[in-house]
Amino acid sequence: ELVLVSAGYDAHKDDPVGQMKMTAHGFGRLTQIVRKIAGTCCKGVLVAVLEGGYNPLALAQSVLATIQAMAGQDIEDTAGPEPPEQGTVSDKTLKAIENVKLIHSRYRRF
């Protein structure tokens, strides 16, 4: 048993398609809620599959918040005045990815 999430981010406030009022932090909070549901119904097995999002910066921020929540980390405010340089990966992002890999290593080898 598992909880499978179709992780679409086009509801983000900066997305040109959805144009709703969701923030990256909001996606992280939703993930925390779904993580708790997975914890009660299927031993915490939660899978998220990237589905959409059409603003690259908003998508990156939202995915980071989702990964942080899936890894049980605090959701950091990822919105900032300056977007990161394209092609760079922050230490926070690398740490979040390593934590997710560690959690998933119980089930699969990377």
Q: Per residue in 70-96, pLDDT tens?
A: 999 888 765 544 555 666 677 887 888
Q: Which residue has the higher pLDDT, 68 or 89?
A: 68
Angle at 35 between CA 69 and CA 22, to 5 degrees: 60
Distance (Å, rounded) from C-alpha 38 to C-alpha 4?
9
Q: Per residue in 6-52, pLDDT tens?
A: 999 999 999 998 889 999 999 999 999 999 999 999 999 999 999 98
Q: How is residue 30 written in tokens?
A: 């939703």
Q: What is the pLDDT of residue 19?
A: 80
Helix axes 56-70, 24-41, angle to 10 degrees: 30
How many C-alpha atoms does 54 have within 13 Å on its Cβ side? 8
The overall pTM is greater than 0.85:
no
